[in-house]
Copies of this chain bind each other. A is one copy, B any other.
C-alpha cells in the first residue's frame, strides 16, 4: 500500500462553499478508515491532501479544498487553487449544506461535467433539515447521484463511500491477475473445459480464454483438455502440472482424476477474485453451512438472461441451498441492476459470476453487504461448496480458505 506511487492513487476532491462541512466530511471518511498513511497540513491557500486506504478502492488521496465562495484577495487566490485541484481529481464530492444548492454549486457541476469528472452531490447537515425536494427531483432527473448525510453525527458516511466507489473510474480499480501469481515461467497449467450443449459453437467462453492468455503472459504453458480426456492426458505427462483449473460443472470428476499432490481450482473461483473480492466471497460461502429452514436468501443475477430449464441461479443453487438448510428457504431472485438498498433481512446473498458487469460493480455490492453484516458469496463458490470440493479448490488461496472457515464458524472478520 505504501508503495503505490501517489500519481497512481485515486484522487478524490471535496468541493463546496465555506462551512458546508467539507473538512468534517473528510475527517468522518478518514475516521472510519483503517490507516492514515500521511497527513500533510495545508497552508492558508493550499488544499489539504490526505492519503489513506479506502477499501476496496485501495490507496486514495483526499483533497479538501477551500470554499468556492471565499471573499477578498486571499479568497480569490484560494478559489484559484481550488480550480487547479478540479483539474487533477478523478472523482469529486460536491458538499452542499442544509440550505440547498446555489449558483456556486451549479457552476461547479458544469465545470466537472465539462472536464468529464464523475461526481456525487452530498447534502450535509441532514440533522438540521432535509435537502430541498425540488432540488433532489431535479438532480434525479439529471441522473446525478445524491447522498443525504450528517458528517457531524456520522449518519450516511457509508453511503458517501458507496457513492465514491460507484463514481470512481473503472481504471482506478486494478485488475488482479487470474492465475499469473500462482504460476511461474515454464510451468504447465491444465485447463479442463467441458464441451456441452451450452458451449457456444466454435468458441471458448471468456474465462477460459482469459485464463489461457494469463498463462501465456506468465511465460507458462497451457494444456486444454475435456474432462473425459483429462486422466489419460495426466497419465501421459512426464511433468507434473503446477495447477489444474476446471469448469465448476465438472469439479467433482476433475477432483477425482487429479492426484492429490496437484493443486486444483475452478474458473469460477479464479473469476471470483478477478471480478470481486475473493476473501469476502469465500467467507460468504462459509455461511452456506449455517443456513436454517425459513432463512431468506437473495440470488442476484447481474444480467437478465433467458432462464434455462435447469438454470443455475434459479433452479440448481436454490435446490443445493435447501439441501444444506435441511428445509425450505425463502429465496428471492433479483436481476440486472435491481440490488436492494436494505439487505438486512437476508441470511445470505449469492451473486452470479458477473460476466456482464465490471469488477467495481461487484465490489460495490460486496461493500454494501459487508456494511450491513450480510454474508455474500457467488455462484462458483456455492457450486464448489455443494460439490464438497470448496476446501480443495481454495487450497491455493490460503487467505480465502481461512475466510471460508471463518464464515462457517460465523465469527466476524
* Interface residue stretch chosen among A101-109, A116-124, A157-165, A220-228: A220-228
- Cβ contact within 8 Å between A214 and B228: no
Contacts A224-B221, A236-B239, A237-B238: A212 and B202 contacting too (C-beta < 8 A)? no
- Cβ contact within 8 Å between A210 and B203: yes
Find A203's partner among B186, B193, B209 (CB 8 Å cutoff): B209
Please report the C-alpha to C-alpha distance between residue A210 and residue B202 in the assembled complex, in whole angstroms. Answer: 6
- Cβ contact within 8 Å between B202 and A216: no
What residues of B have a CB within 8 angstroms of the CB of A210 in the complex? 202-203
- Cβ contact within 8 Å between B222 and A213: no
What residues of B have a CB within 8 angstroms of the CB of A224 in the complex? 212, 215-216, 221-224
Please report the C-alpha to C-alpha distance between residue A86 and residue B174 in the assembled complex, in whole angstroms. Answer: 59
A3: CB under 8 A from chain B? Answer: no
A127: CB under 8 A from chain B? Answer: no
What residues of B have a CB within 8 angstroms of the CB of A203 in the complex? 209-210, 213
Size range of the interface on A? 20 to 34
A341: CB under 8 A from chain B? Answer: no
**Cβ of A279 to closest chain B Cβ, rounded Å:** 23
- Cβ contact within 8 Å between B219 and A226: yes
Contact with B along A26-56 (1 / 0, CB 8 A): 0000000000000000000000000000000
Question: Could you tell me which A residues sit within 8 Å of B by CB distance?
Answer: 185-186, 193, 195, 202-204, 209-210, 212-217, 219-226, 228-229, 232-233, 236-239
CB-defined A-B contacts under 8 Å, sample of 27? A185-B229, A186-B229, A193-B216, A202-B210, A202-B213, A203-B209, A203-B210, A204-B209, A204-B212, A209-B209, A215-B224, A216-B224, A216-B225, A219-B226, A219-B228, A219-B229, A220-B229, A221-B225, A222-B223, A222-B224, A222-B225, A223-B223, A223-B224, A236-B238, A236-B239, A237-B238, A238-B238
